[in-house]
Amino acid sequence: MKHHAISVQDLNLYYGDKHALKDIKIDIEEKSVTALIGPSGCGKSTFLRTLNRMNDLISGVKISGVINVHDQNIYDNEVEVEMLRKQIGMVFQAPNPFPKSIYDNVAYGPRIHGMRNKNELDQIVEKSLRGAALWDEVKDRLKDRATGLSGGQQQRLCIARALAVEPEILLMDEPTSALDPISTAKIEELVQELKQNYTIVIVTHNMQQAARISDKTAFFLNGDLIEYNDTDTLFSNPEDQKTEDYITGRFG
């Protein structure tokens, strides 16, 4: 029996007057891949960002409801957001390496959290780059600037950077939308490997991708969670007509 890594109850989010997420209830299983699908502006990226409180950075956002990670509501006042974001990593749509060396990109998080021992940093950097399936391609050029890598390599570097602080949960916001098909395939393969050790929640516009890599899929529309089920079931036998219309391309 899989345990729930994240349990969301009665989540509502407003941008000013706009009701962007409406009474969301969802349990996300640990060490699995959950895909969030739906047309642009339907709330899926907003929902993803509530899971590590990235929306806190936006003015005028009001959030109510409960998001439990390990039975603690991450919106409780005593939660330290820095520690929360260490536990719940984020990979964005466009690769965003820091203008530093490959090594320094991966070592950045551990250093912020007080790691100074060079041997330990070396081990973390290697382990994280191996975890992101990038080590063999960059091991001889760790001092080179990360911005010299290809787009697909930069995105895997950003995954390595997220892994370096040993999160339990990895959030991915359309991580392959800026990449070519070969790089996309590598990241998809990587996601399958990472779920052995991490809980992954991924926003994707690509329904074939959701079908290929996720265990469960949640379909969002206009701020509502319309349907949430095992991916195979949701795509082959959706319960809601709106889900069927979306996955068969009638809208969106």
Share of the chain above pLDDT 90, in %: 94
pLDDT for residue 252? 59
- Domains in the chain, please, with CATH? 4-247 (3.40.50.300)
Phi and psi based region of residue 166 (left: phi greater than 0; alpha: psi -120 to 50; beta: remaining): left
What is the arithmetic mean of pLDDT over 147-175? Answer: 97
| pLDDT > 90? residue 251 | no
Rounded distance between C-alpha atoms, residue 145 and residue 104, angstroms: 9
pLDDT for residue 1? 67
pLDDT for residue 51? 97
Rounded distance between C-alpha atoms, residue 93 and residue 230, angstroms: 25
Please write the tens of the pLDDT for every residue from 174-232. 999 999 999 999 999 999 999 999 999 999 999 999 999 999 999 999 999 999 999 99
- Whether the Cβ atoms of residue 195 and residue 116 lie closer than 8 Å to each other: no
Per-residue pLDDT band for 57 (boundaries 50, 70, 90) equals confident
What is the arithmetic mean of pLDDT over 49-70? Answer: 94
| pLDDT > 90? residue 250 | no
Rounded distance between C-alpha atoms, residue 11 and residue 59, angstroms: 18
pLDDT for residue 6? 97
Per-residue pLDDT band for 71 (boundaries 50, 70, 90) equals confident
Per residue, the 3-state secondary structure of the chain, as one string, reads CCCEEEEEEEEEEEECCEEEEEEEEEEEECCCEEEEECCCCCCHHHHHHHCCCHHHHCCCEEEEEEEEECCEECCCCCCCHHHHHHHEEEECCCCCCCCCEHHHHHHHHHHHCCCCCHHHHHHHHHHHHHHCCCHHHHCCCCCCEHHHCCHHHHHHHHHHHHHCCCCCEEEEECCCCCCCHHHHHHHHHHHHHHCCCCEEEEECCCHHHHHHHCCEEEEEECCEEEEEEEHHHHHHCCCCHHHHHHHCCCCC
| pLDDT > 90? residue 3 | no
Tokens for 38, please give them. Answer: 């739906």
